Chain A
Amino acid sequence: IQLTQSPSFLSTSVGDRVTITCRASQGIATFLAWYQQKPGKAPNLLIYAASTLQSGVPSRFSGSGSGTEFTLTISSLQPEDFATYYCQQLHSYPYSFGQGTKLEI
């Protein structure tokens, strides 16, 4: 299953509302997770089951969608949110990731 994220790059500012889209090449119900990765670090789980916020993740992050189209929304961008974001499908093997969306200042 191919996952296509858009946009690949996004120039943003602190306080902006940001939406990242992840489209799956076939239906995956809600078997989708979102991760944040900062340079030189491991990915960090933000959301699983498409819309369930992982414990400890700020409430400004939210996820929605089902089937083939999903979104990750950051309601008000904070300085620590500038990073690369990946979606991952866990519906079928091999599990796959989107190509990433890099948020830049």
Chain B
Amino acid sequence: QVQLQESGPGLVKPSGTLSLTCDVSGGSISSNDWWSWVRQSPGKGLEWIGETDQSGSTNYNPSLKSRLTISVDKSKNQLSLKLTSVTAADTAVYFCARFALTIFGDLYYYYMDVWGKGITVTVSS
């Protein structure tokens, strides 16, 4: 079964770039699924960051779009996230997740069925 594992620096300086990767095992990132990032600030709820598919198509949260790049590396079976010009407000646990799809008639239902364990990123000097 598909498993996801996030990795990257746990500490990023203000105004720097947050770079994370998500290794996909037990399946291929080149499948028809979409792949997403979600974050959770300390003591807060969940925030959808954005998503990509194996063709490189992306959808981003407008609140982060100007600073955000999400991509896939098929050769490494890996998802990545880059967030520039970070501030303390970007301190959070970052999760990668798979968007699975079920079709009921002519309706396409997406949902996040597999998640990584999450990685804590702190923005501080």
Contact = CB atoms under 8 A, between A and B. Distances in A.
Contacts of B112: 33, 35, 43, 45, 88
Interface in A69-105: 86, 88, 90, 93-100
A102 to B, nearest CB: 11
A43 B115 contact: yes
A49 interface: yes
Counting contact residues on chain A (CB < 8 A from B), the size range is 20 to 34
B48 A45 contact: no
Interface in B36-55: 38, 45-48
Contacts of A54: 111, 113
B48 A96 contact: yes
A98 B45 contact: yes
B48 A31 contact: no
